[in-house]
């Protein structure tokens, strides 16, 4: 009974590692794209922008959800 449990755990770990390697390879291949080469970084996220036409810029709702998720994470870790 215990050996079947460890076999399932090992199989799940192998599947998880395979999926991470597969997704990681796809993300590495996507880095060759010219649009992704222009990275802004975290310092440019909340900086005032002179051009409002940037399609990659987050809107106010996305900024609020990003900041609020930290507080939700703290509540979940503390009380669960």
Per-residue pLDDT at 3 exceeds 60: yes
13 pLDDT above the threshold of 90:
yes
Tokens 């990681």, located at residue: 24
46, 63 in Cβ contact below 8 A? yes
What pLDDT score was predicted for residue 37? 47
Structure token pair of residue 42:
């975290």
The model's pTM is 0.36
């Amino acid at each position: 009974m215990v050996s079947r449990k460890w076999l399932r755990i090992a199989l799940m770990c192998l599947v998880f590692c395979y999926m991470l390697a597969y997704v990681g390879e796809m993300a590495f291949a996507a880095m060759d794209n010219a649009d992704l080469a222009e990275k802004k970084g975290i310092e440019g996220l909340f900086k005032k922008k002179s051009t409002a036409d940037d399609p990659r810029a987050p809107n106010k709702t996305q900024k609020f959800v990003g900041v609020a998720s930290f507080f939700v994470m703290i509540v979940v870790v503390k009380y669960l």
